[in-house]
Structure 1
Amino acid sequence: MRSDSRVTPTVNSGDLPEAVPSRRFAAGTSGVRGLLITLLGGCVRSSGQATPTSAFVDALGRFGVKEDACRQALARATADGWLCPSREGRYTWWRLSPAFEQFLRLGAERILRFTATQPDWDGRWLVVLARAAETNRPGRHLLRTRLRRAGFGNPAPGTWVTTHTDRAEEAELVLDEAGVRDEAQIFVAEHLSGGEASALVRQAWDFDEVEREYEAFLAAFTRPSFGDPLVRFTRLVHDWRHLALIDPELPAELLPAGWRGARAARLFRERHARWTPAALREWDRISARTR
């Protein structure tokens, strides 16, 4: 690779909600917490209204979540700055905090833009050279999980690559939080010679796992077996959000033959457009019970 050393801008804490979400808002898709963030992004943010506790209990209950677990998740979300509760008589109402609403907006834009294939690649790579000391176990874990979530692959120890050169600022934030910013280097590079770039891709990412996830998504939503409009919509967005976290969204020329991601993206867009209105009507119905 020929590299152009690049000095990327400093990330100021005041800019984080507009640029890259802070770590306390970084949530995966597993468990009640992940399901809650999908509901907050897909329904609460879209409605623009305060939501009673009963609506969360009802909605999460449709996925087998007990009321106590729902209330615990709401309490944790409040402690983490996601929600702002208020009391009116016997009822508690929940609103999104301004910072978390911004986080959800950015996340929704990224999910809806996600197509499983990167368009218009200019052939350049973003390369991050970073290691965390063996004694810095939290930093090592954060580097591994957050850089992968940002679409970086790891072809060799201490080396992270992505075809998305616009993610340098996101990488800088991860390096800061891992405590390795001063020792790390970030480059924009081009592949000039040596082995095929496809070999680098196979070293950096496990596409077998991603393909299995796409197969499961296509099987679940090609002929959906659930009639509840809120359940099917939430499951659709929740599963697609998971895929957007694990798929690096590489250019078509670097992807395996017969890539299922493009087909899954078309299915998601069609189902999302068709299912959203009914899901939001059902959310409004269960949210209005105590009004």
Structure 2
Amino acid sequence: MRTPRSLIVTLYGAYGRPPDGAPFAVSELIRLLHAVGVDAPSVRSCVSRLKRRGLLVAARAADGSAGYALSPDARQLLDDGDRRIYRRRGPRLSDGWVLAVFSVPEAERNKRHLLRSRLARLGFGTAAPGVWIAPAGLYEETRHTLQRLGLAPYVDLFRGEHLGFAATREAVARWWDLAAVARLHHEFLELHEPVLRDWEASGDADEAPRPQTAYRDYLLALDSWRQLPYADPGLPPELLPGDWPGGRSAEVFDRLHERLRDAGERYVRP
């Protein structure tokens, strides 16, 4: 579900990490979020909440006006996300799995809820109570996330392979709700594949896309797409249904990214 908060985080992920660490001025945030349908009061309210959560820090923009930059933790979070969103490689069954085995005292049940919800958001499936599983390529991001949230003392991480007794393809259908993940891919395609077709139909005559339109279409596509690599753990093809839509939705996003990301930056930094 698209929200003002999600769009702000997406904006910082796409364009808010310049090498010099320069913050966005508040006026710039309002302008950029207005272009994707977010009003100024919502921007100010969401920025305040993100600041309270430690994801944004107040800083002066280049012109001396009030602004906000990413905190170090937020930057690490987005850097980890880049490996999922932009630099995916084909998963291999031979890579194996990472297991998260946890035990949380009853007196700290809030930690148990946080741990389960965060593992789910990282793309883990449930192999058994207290035993969560994901492709081994998610190990580094899992380690960073658990350490950042102070959850590492409750968890042991292992690498391994599945040895049975059920076939691995049958097992992953229990560990993850693949039908629900497929629906998310289809929803992404329904929203953004027509946008890609429209841009590609313009052909070579539109070699320099209009910056504001490119920015809008790219930010909305990225906001939709960046949720998917977390819901979809990135399973090897031989473990997925034959009509799996994940490859097509990844291709649509990649083509939108290639065509629109840099053009949109001309609107972000005119």
Aligned equivalents of 1:264 and 1:173: distance in 2?
A: 26
- SS of 2:68 mapped into structure 1: strand
The count of aligned residue pairs is: 254
Say which structure is richer in helix: 2
Aligned equivalents of 2:156 and 2:63: distance in 1?
A: 56
1:205 is aligned, of 176, 182, 186, to 176
2:267 maps to what in 1?
Answer: 282
* 8 Å Cα contact 1:43-1:283 kept in structure 2: yes
Aligned equivalents of 2:3 and 2:41: distance in 1?
A: 14
- 1:65 Cα deviation from its structure 2 partner: 2.3
Q: Structure 1: which 5+ runs fail to align?
A: 1-28, 286-291
Could you say if the C-alpha distance between residues 69 and 33 of structure 1 is closer, same or farther in structure 2, counting changes exceeding 3 Å? same
Whether 2:187 is the aligned partner of 1:239: answer: no
Aligned equivalents of 1:269 and 1:209: distance in 2?
A: 22
Whether 2:25 is the aligned partner of 1:52: answer: yes
Q: Structure 2: which 5+ runs fail to align?
A: 200-211
- 1:196 Cα deviation from its structure 2 partner: 1.0
- 1:243 Cα deviation from its structure 2 partner: 0.4
Could you say if the C-alpha distance between residues 217 and 179 of structure 1 is closer, same or farther in structure 2, counting changes exceeding 3 Å? closer
- Higher relative contact order structure (alpha carbons within 8 Å, sequence separation ≥ 6): 1
- 1:154 Cα deviation from its structure 2 partner: 0.2
1:84 maps to what in 2?
Answer: 58
1:74 is aligned, of 30, 47, 50, to 47
Could you say if the C-alpha distance between residues 221 and 144 of structure 1 is closer, same or farther in structure 2, counting changes exceeding 3 Å? same
Letter of the 1:56 counterpart: L
1:220 maps to what in 2?
Answer: 191
* 8 Å Cα contact 1:125-1:161 kept in structure 2: yes
1:263 is aligned, of 228, 248, 252, to 248
Aligned equivalents of 1:175 and 1:43: distance in 2?
A: 26
Aligned equivalents of 1:245 and 1:68: distance in 2?
A: 30
Q: Could you tell me the TM-score, scaled by structure 2's length?
A: 0.80
* 8 Å Cα contact 2:101-2:132 kept in structure 1: yes
- 1:174 Cα deviation from its structure 2 partner: 2.6
2:207 maps to what in 1?
Answer: none
Could you say if the C-alpha distance between residues 81 and 215 of structure 1 is closer, same or farther in structure 2, counting changes exceeding 3 Å? closer
- 1:262 Cα deviation from its structure 2 partner: 0.8
Moved more, 211-220 or 55-64: 55-64
2:164 maps to what in 1?
Answer: 193
Alignment of 1:138-157 (within 5 A): 138-157=110-129
- What's the Cα RMSD here? 3.0
Letter of the 1:113 counterpart: R
Aligned equivalents of 2:163 and 2:64: distance in 1?
A: 67
